[in-house]
Amino acid sequence: MTGYRRSVTVMGTVATVELYDAPDAERLADEVFAWLREVDRRFSTYRAGSDVNRLHRGELTLAECAPEVSEVLARCAEFWRDTDGYFDVYATGRLDPSGYVKGWSVQVASERLSAAGAVNHLVDAGGDIQTRGRPAPDARWEIGIRHPWHPASVCAVVTGTDLAVATSGTYERGCHVVDPRTGRPRGDLRSVTVVGRDLGTADVYATAAVAMGPPALRWLAGLDGYESMVVTEEGVSYRSAGLPVA
């Protein structure tokens, strides 16, 4: 199998595409990155002219937004219900769907790659990873989970063919996830990784779990179709029974 791998910086982080046995890998990678950049343009809270920011300032109504934007926001509203209010795009006081957008954009990219015939691929944007197929005929994708204290190590490795792995944590950007009920950042869970079907959903669940704090352990255990691994600030690690560790 011939492999192709490329990384760019986008969305304030690094995005990587790995393709195996894909027709016209270069062009496909270009399209993926172009899609990610478009997502960034529309959804970034750091860009003054993004749709999200203009919406927040009232310069745009929901009806005037691009269809993806309203679709994303609609999904976010559903997640708000599903997570009992812990995933809240208004948690920081301003509209911020980035807890879902990153995972969702990678998921869409992956779907497009599959549709285009690249069935063995990996797309990674800032640590949210979606894989499909296999990297080699009898191998499986191996995704490490960054050790919450030792930056050059991993604390677990998950493996599989179709994996969506999303991690939310406090060790790279500090306590940036806000608990919507108190309005203050939470730090008792240092790292939450959710593995499941949809990367967008996994991303939301991971973010919501960090916002929840210790009660998240029970909540994560009850999720259907999603496995998880949690490391608390005291250094205790928990993982669900079905987590596909290597």
Partner 1 sequence: MRRVILWLVGTAIGTTVLVGVKAAPGTLPFDRSAEAPLDPAASGTPTPAITRTTAPSPSAKTPTRSRTTTAPVTRTIVGDAFPARDFGDVQVKVVLTGDHIDDIIVVQMSNRPRKAPSLLRAEALAEQSADNLTNISGATYTSEAYVRSLRSALAKA
Q: Which spans of this chain sit near partner 1 (rule: CB under 8 A)?
A: 5-14, 16, 18, 33, 37, 40-41, 46-48, 122, 124, 126-129, 141-157, 165-167, 169, 171-173, 191, 193, 231, 233-238
Judge contact between 145 and 192, C-beta under 8 A. no
Residue type, 91: A
The residue (of 85 and 238) whose beta carbon lies closer to partner 1 is 238
Site of tokens 């306590």: 175
The residue (of 99 and 169) whose beta carbon lies closer to partner 1 is 169
Q: How far is the CB of 16 from partner 1 (least distance, A)?
A: 7
**Of the candidates 193, 175, 181, the residue with the CA atom closest to the CA atom of residue 230:** 193
The residue (of 45 and 114) whose beta carbon lies closer to partner 1 is 45
Local structure of residue 209 (DSSP, 8 states): H
Beta bridge partners, 46, equal none
Output the six-digit token pair for 79: 């997640």
CA–CA separation, 144 and 8 (whole Å):
20
Q: What are phi and psi of 222, to 5 degrees?
A: -85, 0
The residue (of 55 and 166) whose beta carbon lies closer to partner 1 is 166
Q: How far is the CB of 48 from partner 1 (least distance, A)?
A: 8
Q: How far is the CB of 131 from partner 1 (least distance, A)?
A: 8
Q: How far is the CB of 13 from partner 1 (least distance, A)?
A: 5
Q: How far is the CB of 20 from partner 1 (least distance, A)?
A: 13
Other Cβ atoms closer than 10 A to 187: 16
The residue (of 105 and 193) whose beta carbon lies closer to partner 1 is 193
